[in-house]
């Protein structure tokens, strides 16, 4: 079957419940095939078969193998990066302000690690595809910018609360902290760093808090 034109890659989301269920099945099947075969060896026919759909039905929802990968990554990255960067928001009401800030940082790091562990195979593929697909690369950049923005907002809140020095560059600090967390967790889970999860989280939280100059425990 000929590959549809470029507009199919940007197909509108289905409006019926049946269509939404089929699209979800195709996304789940695509994840299974991509994680099993890798991006380059994955085939639309295999994705369709895994979803229990006719080969031609795939193109009702996605214009290509790359298009379904982009949709899958976009959905996963939204959840992943939303899990980090909430150090200055919400959290338990008890304890000193500095202790509460540390608890929030720790909770955010734990959520990020849990999400990354759940999606390790896909994240490894994501890194691979960013090297040759500009749209996937743009997805990665956009998700990273959203995460940096959330961390910057948290730092600025801590500055307003008097817990972090007012002259600290919140934007550059956010970029550095996000790079630290993402880089270490990627090395550990994708490149097999052989680390212990509790030590990873505790170290990230301590470095994050010390980098911001939060008062020490007690």
Question: What is the secondary structure of 63-84 as a DSSP string?
Answer: SSHHHHHHHHHHHHHHHHHHTS
Distance CA 165, CA 102 (A): 16
Residue found by looking up tokens 């089929």 in the block: 22
pTM, full prediction = 0.81
* pLDDT (0 to 100) of residue 83: 61
Maximum distance among all alpha carbons in the chain? 67
Q: How far apart are CA 59 and CA 72, in angstroms?
A: 15
The CATH fold of domain 6-63: Arc Repressor Mutant, subunit A (1.10.10)
The predicted structure's pLDDT at residue 12: 62
Least Cα distance to 162 among 87, 97, 210, 92 occurs for 97
Count of CA atoms in the C-beta half-sphere (13 A) of 25? 16
The chain-wide mean pLDDT, for the chain, equals 87
Each residue's pLDDT tens digit in the chain (218 positions)?
344 444 445 566 888 999 999 999 999 999 999 999 999 999 999 999 999 999 889 999 999 999 999 999 888 877 766 665 444 444 445 578 999 999 999 999 999 899 899 999 999 999 889 999 998 899 889 888 988 999 999 999 999 999 999 999 999 999 999 999 999 999 999 998 889 999 999 999 999 999 999 976 64
* Region at 97 (left for phi over 0; alpha for psi -120 to 50; beta for the rest): alpha
> According to CATH, where is 1.10.10.60 located in the chain?
6-63
pLDDT at residue 28, as a whole number: 95
Q: pLDDT at position 26, please?
A: 96
Neighbours of 116 (CB within 10 A): 21
Domain 70-212: CATH superfamily, name plus number: Tetracycline Repressor, domain 2 (1.10.357.10)
| CATH 1.10.357.10 domain residues, the chain | 70-212
């Amino acid at each position: 079957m000929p590959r549809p034109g470029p507009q199919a890659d940007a197909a509108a989301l289905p409006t019926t419940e049946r269509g939404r269920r089929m699209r979800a099945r195709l996304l789940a099947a695509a994840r299974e095939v991509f994680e099993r075969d890798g991006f380059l060896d994955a085939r639309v026919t295999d994705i369709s078969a895994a979803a229990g759909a006719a080969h031609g039905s795939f193109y009702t929802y996605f214009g290509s193998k790359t298009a379904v990968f982009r949709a899958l990554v976009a959905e996963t990255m939204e959840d992943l990066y939303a899990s980090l960067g909430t150090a200055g928001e919400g959290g338990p009401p008890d304890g000193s302000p500095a202790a509460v800030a540390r608890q929030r940082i720790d909770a955010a790091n734990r959520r990020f690690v849990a999400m990354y562990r759940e999606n390790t195979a896909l994240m490894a593929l994501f890194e691979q595809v960013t090297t040759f697909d500009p749209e996937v690369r743009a997805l990665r950049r956009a998700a990273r910018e959203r995460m940096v923005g959330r961390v910057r907002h948290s730092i600025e809140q801590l500055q307003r609360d008097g817990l972090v020095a007012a002259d600290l560059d919140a934007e550059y600090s956010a970029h550095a902290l996000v790079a630290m967390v993402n880089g270490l967790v990627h090395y550990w889970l994708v490149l097999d760093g052989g680390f212990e999860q509790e030590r990873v989280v505790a170290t990230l939280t301590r470095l994050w808090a010390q980098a911001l100059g939060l008062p020490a425990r007690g």
